[in-house]
Amino acid sequence: MALAPGVEAADTSKGSPEQIENLMCRWCWNKPQPCVSGAGCLSESAVDDGWLVKSLDYWYCNNYFPNRVQPGIVPLEMGPLFREMLAIVDGENKVKLHVFLAHGGTLSGMLGALRAAPEQHQWPPYRSNLIIEVWLGVENGVSRKYVRILYDGRPLVTDPELSSDKPWCQLDGEHGETCALDLFRVYLYAHSVDKRDEACKV
């Protein structure tokens, strides 16, 4: 079958995850989807299905499995980054703004480690960001610090079945958008490591 001008033949030598990422790149930039000789070109619905599969893969690998089946994976995957965050929270560095750059897999790992609700834990789209803010408030005349987490500009909602276990916070409309900084610090410490072999218990 002859391919239309500007349409490339599909490269089937790569694995499914890479193929899905390539499809989404084409979709985001309004590029034609690849075609297979004799089978035609991929439809938008097929690309949407691929996105759903990829989102399920991220949620299962980074959220469901480590939190419900093998909790030891969380410090193994996110422990070194949590240790850096802990140093910031503890005030070891006086800089007020810290920026970390990462790929979608790391961001997905963060969402899982923070126990994001399934509806918020999908394949991170381009330019996704996770913002952790520290606020100072007064409650009953006592000054306290709080943490607010935003994912792509929206307050993070945690999975109620996972966040009810301490140490962690229930973040949603009913319980509010903030978490006590002390509780956040305890959670980071419980899931942080200096080196990966420490998490592996080698």
Residue 144 lies in a domain: yes
Q: Is residue 22 part of a domain?
A: no
The number of domains in the chain is: 1
In a domain, 56, yes or no: no
Per-residue confidence of the chain (202 residues) as pLDDT tens digits? 444 555 454 454 444 455 677 777 777 778 888 787 777 887 888 888 887 888 888 888 888 888 888 877 888 888 888 888 888 888 766 788 889 998 888 899 999 999 999 888 888 887 899 999 999 888 788 888 999 999 999 999 988 887 666 668 888 867 788 989 999 999 888 888 776 676 666 4
Residue 3: inside a domain: no
Taking CA atoms, 82 is separated from 32, 135, 172, in Å, by 41, 19, 22
Q: What are phi and psi of 185, to 5 degrees?
A: -65, -45
Is residue 38 situated within a structural domain?
no
Residues facing 40 on adjacent strands: 36
Contact 149, 114 (CB under 8 A): yes
CA–CA dist 126, 29 (Å, integer): 11
**Strand pairing report for 178-180 and 142-151:** antiparallel
Question: Are 79 and 199 contacting, i.e. CB atoms less than 8 angstroms apart?
Answer: yes
Domain that holds residue 107: 71-199
Query: Measuring CA to CA, which residue among 95, 96, 93, 121 is closest to residue 107?
Result: 121
- Here the CATH number for the domain that contains residue 162 is 3.40.50.1240
- Is 10 a member of any domain? no
In a domain, 6, yes or no: no
* Full-model pTM: 0.76
